[in-house]
Structure formats: C-alpha cells, structure tokens
Amino acid sequence: MGFFRLSHITNVFSISGFVQVISLLGLLLLLYKAVQYYLHRQWLLKCLREFPSTPSHWLFGNHIKDQDLQQILLWVEKFPSACSRWFWGNKAHAVIYDPDYMKVILGRSDPKPTRTYSFFTPWIGYGLLILEGKKWFQHRKILTPAFHYDILKPYVGIIADSVHVMLDKWEQLIGQDCPLEIHQHISLMTLEIIMKSAFSYQGSVQLDEEAKSYIKAVEVLTQRIYSRVRNAFHQSNIFYNLSSNGRSFYHACQIAHEHTDRMISMRKAQLKNEGELEKVRKKRLLDFLDILLFAQTEDGKSLSDEDLHAEVDTFMFEGHDTTASGISWIFYALATNPEHQQKCREEVQNVLGDGTSVSWNHLSQMPYTTMCIKEALRLYPPVPAIGRELSTPVTFPDGRSLPKGFLITLSFYGLHHNPRLWPNPEVFDPSRFAPDAAKHSYAFLPFSGGRRNCIGKQFAMNELKVAVALTLLRFELLPDPTRVPVLMTRTVLKSKNGIYLHLKKLK
Ligand code: HEM
C-alpha cells in the first residue's frame, strides 16, 4: 500500500515535470518564431522603404478578394514605376509596372518564386513553365523545333476547322435570341486546337464530355491556386492537404491527369503501328508530342515518364487556357468597339472572301485586324502578372534597389494600363500599334520577354488571327449591357460573371 502511494506520487511528479518541460520548450519555440517573424518583417520594411503602398492589414495585407486588378490600377496612378504589396504580416512583394524596370528584370536570369510556383507542381509537374537551370535549358532546346514555322504552317488549317465547328454550333444556339456565354465554347475550341495540332489527336473534342470535365478541372485548379497563394493558413502542405480546398485541388488534379494520360497512351498505341511510325520517321520536323516521345537528352537517354507527363500537362494547360482568354477578350473588345470591328471585317473580307480557305500567307495580310488584336491584348493581357525571386541584388535605373531573395511581381496588367506609357489607357485605340507609332520595347509584354518568354507566342498569334477573321465573316458581335464582365485573375485573365455577347448572323 505504502509502495503504491509512493510510485503514484513519483508518477504525478514526473508527468507534471514532463508537461512543464514541454510547455517551456513550446514557449521558447513560440518566442523564437515571434522574433524570427519580427526580424523578417523589419527586414521587409527596410527593403521596401522606397516602394510605397496603400495601408495594409497586419493579417490580410492589402489583398481584397478579386480586386487585384482594380488595386493595381490605383497603384499605377499613385506610385510611379513600382510599389509594394503585402499579402499578410510578413509576406510582401515589390510590384513593378514600368518598362525600364521590366527590362532590367527580364534581362536577368532570376528564377521563378519557388514557393508560389510549387503550388502548381502536383498538377503540371516540372515542365517548361516551372523548370529552372540546366534542365530548363535542355527542355527548351528540345521543344523549340515544335514551334518552327514549317510546323506551324499546316496548323492554320486545323485551327480554321475547329473555329468553323464552334461557329456552326453558335449558329444553332443564337436562334434563341439571347446572349451567349462565349468563353466556355472558346475554351473547348482552343483545347481541340492544341490537342489536334500538338498532340496529333484525331477525334472531335468540342462535343466530348471528357474534354468538358478537363476544362472544369482546370477552372477548379487555377481557382484553388489563386486562393492558396493568398491564404496564410494554406501555405503548409500538411494543413492544405487536410483542408476542403486541398482535397478538391487534388481531385481536380486527378481528372486533369486522366485526360493527359489518355492522350499519351493513344499516341503511343498509334506509334506501335508500323505505318504511323514510318510516317514519323520520314518527317523532317516532328509535332510536339512526337518530339517528346522520341527526344533524347545529351547523354542519349529518353525523357523520363515523369518529365514527359509534366510537359504534356504544361502544354495542355498553357496551350489552351491562355488562348481561350485571349480570344474571348478580343471578341469582347470588338463587340464594345463596333467601328473597329467593322473595319476589321472589311479587311478580312478583302483578304479571305467568304473564308472557305485560310492559309499561313493570309495571316500577314491583315494589318488592321492585327493592330486590334494587339490593342485587346494590351487592355486584357491573358497572363496579367508573373513572378521572379532575385538571385542577386538589383538596382533599377532610378537608383532604387532590392536585395537578393526579394520577390518581384511583374504586373503586365499594370504596365499595359500605365497612363505614363499609354495615354487614356482604358480607351480601345488600335492606332497605338500602327507601324509608325513609337513605343518602348518593354511597354507591351503579353507574352513576357527575355529568355523565359512564351514559347507558344507565334502559335497563339496565328490562332487569335484565324479565330477573329473567321468569326467576323459570320457574325456581328454585340455587347450585353446587362452583363458587363467583371475582370478577375486566375493565373490567366477571366471574367467572374462570364463573357456574354449577342451574336447577329451576317447575311
Ligand atoms: C494568348 C496566348 C498566350 C499568352 C498571352 C501567353 C503568355 C505567356 C507568358 C506571359 C509567359 C511567361 C510565364 C512566366 O514567366 O512565368 C508564357 C510562358 C510560356 N508559355 Fe505562353 N502564352 C500564350 C499561349 C501559349 C501557348 C499556345 C503555348 C503552347 C502551345 C504556351 C506555352 C508556354 C510555355 C511552355 C511557357 C513557359 C516557357 C519557358 O519558361 O521557357 N503559351 N506564356
């Protein structure tokens, strides 16, 4: 009995001692984290002394949900060249929107911000968009021939066919005389174009349910990444994976991967056929997916399965979502500027007649339409911003500087709406892109610039031109004044309430 009492007392003593030690350690850790947090915040404040900002909340920074673009316009007006942006307590970026600043950053080889871009990797892996260093260079070299103009030339026919499928569908739908949400149709069309051209896909995509679920999955993925970047509690993988946002992100990843896996398996199966393999062997230049399947690195090895899937996931996303945004906003810009729409239509009619045949050569004969496309890309850049993490300190031409490790947002939206570069920036004025119009070479960057510029730029421009030309031959585009689009950024530029237009069939 006496022994029992003694051991009981010792136990209680040791448990409470243990709890005390743990509490003390916990407290020390908390204190250490608080000091670390404080010092980092002081460092940020010191670095950003010369980069002003509007007042920010200690926890929410200066982020207001879905107001990023409106906020940028405010900053561009108020703070010349650059400002700072606080996400929360100790997360801040310098935001730049001045052509000289852009030139400095895009002329360097700073990496993309590891943390933010890592949110994409469960979905698109380490493909060209995310890769860095030697491996990025190797992949860029392997993939550049897929965008050679001899490869792009025959794609014009594929693009035209897909545009006609969409326009035929629109003819059926507009009988009901109500405005049409165009972005969803355009997304299916651009997905079909990238699948048929870069991935040698031969089926129809625009009526396919599986393609619709891929597009829905991309919508979820880009939305989840957008909110994760802005949520302090979703930075850690452990907490994120347990959250409902995290779970729906991984579910959407699975749907996207099923789509791209199917594409790879189908092409591999086709290539088992001797005839198809022979056709590929005879080609001087290969399509994108065939390049990947036959690629050999400098040490003579094929691309790993992981690398192959990452590139396919990257190009499937980049190759359709950006162009869908581009085409949708160009149509909106033309609908709201009917006099320019009509001028483009007249030009296209002169070049293409009734549009039954469109070729590569036609695309350089539409200067006014090209000016309008560029002006729409200025007002509505499909990729509104990108990021960099400084690998060495930088000093900008006006003497302001930032240290190594600092995060920079290159706001193309801010740049394109900067009144110091573009007088009356909100006015649609294609003459800004007239051949004799003078402008800074870094004032217009829808496809970014420097060594990490868009590899699909030419492909995209061809697609935009064909889509605009063929659509204007068939329809007059009119805005729906009851549903003005509300811009929001989801990696690419979207509208919160869709893009609704009235389409009037031309005689
Ligand atoms: C209007 C359409 C498009 C726009 C506005 C656009 C814009 C951009 C921008 C701004 C970047 C730089 C991203 C960064 O630095 O983080 C980029 C990179 C990239 N784009 Fe595009 N893009 C378009 C179409 C396409 C198409 C059609 C493809 C593929 C067929 C494509 C594939 C890529 C890839 C792979 C990269 C990464 C390049 C690298 O880092 O080496 N893009 N694009």
Going residue by residue through the chain, which has 507 residues, state the pLDDT in tens, using 9 for 90 and above: 444 455 555 555 688 888 888 899 999 999 998 898 888 888 888 989 999 988 887 777 777 777 889 999 999 999 999 999 998 778 899 999 999 999 999 999 999 999 889 999 999 999 999 999 999 999 999 999 899 988 899 999 999 999 999 999 999 898 766 899 999 999 999 999 999 999 988 888 998 888 999 999 999 999 999 999 988 889 999 999 999 999 999 999 999 999 999 999 999 888 888 788 788 777 776 788 888 888 876 677 788 999 999 999 999 999 999 999 999 999 999 999 999 999 999 999 999 998 788 999 999 999 999 999 999 999 999 999 999 999 999 999 999 999 999 999 999 999 999 999 999 999 999 999 999 998 899 999 999 999 999 999 999 999 999 999 999 999 999 999 999 999 999 999 999 999 999 999 998
The pLDDT of residue 33 is 87
Residue 473: inside a domain: yes
Q: Which residue range is the domain that position 274 belongs to? A: 48-505
Q: Is the CB of 138 under 6 A from ligand 1?
A: no
- The Å distance, Cα 457 to ligand 1 centre, comes to 7
191 lines ligand 1 (CB under 6 A): no
pLDDT given for residue 230 in this prediction: 86
Q: What is residue 3's predicted lDDT score, i.e. its pLDDT?
A: 47
Annotated binding-site ranges? 454
Secondary structure (DSSP) of 266-298: HHHHHHTSHHHHHHHHH-SS--HHHHHHH-B-T
- Looking at residue 5, its pLDDT comes to 53
**Positions at the binding site for heme:** 454
Query: Is 6 contained in some domain?
Result: no
In a domain, 10, yes or no: no
Within-domain flag for 129: yes
Tell whether ligand 1 has an atom less than 6 A from the beta carbon of residue 319.
Answer: yes
In a domain, 11, yes or no: no
Q: What is the CATH number of the domain that holds 314?
A: 1.10.630.10
Q: Domain count of the chain?
A: 1
Which residue minimizes the CA distance to atom 42 of ligand 1?
A: 456
Residue having the nearest C-alpha atom to atom 14 of ligand 1: 386
Ligand 1 binding pocket includes 425 (Cβ within 6 Å): no
Domain membership flag for residue 36? no
**What is this structure's pTM?**
0.92
For residue 40, being part of any structural domain is answered with no
Give residues with Cβ within 8 angstroms of 221, minimum separation 6. Answer: 123, 249, 252, 253, 256
Question: DSSP letters along 415-432, please?
Answer: HHT-TTTSSSTTS--GGG
Distance of CA 200 to the CA centre of its chain: 24
Q: Is the residue at 244 inside a domain?
A: yes
Quote the DSSP letter at residue 410: E
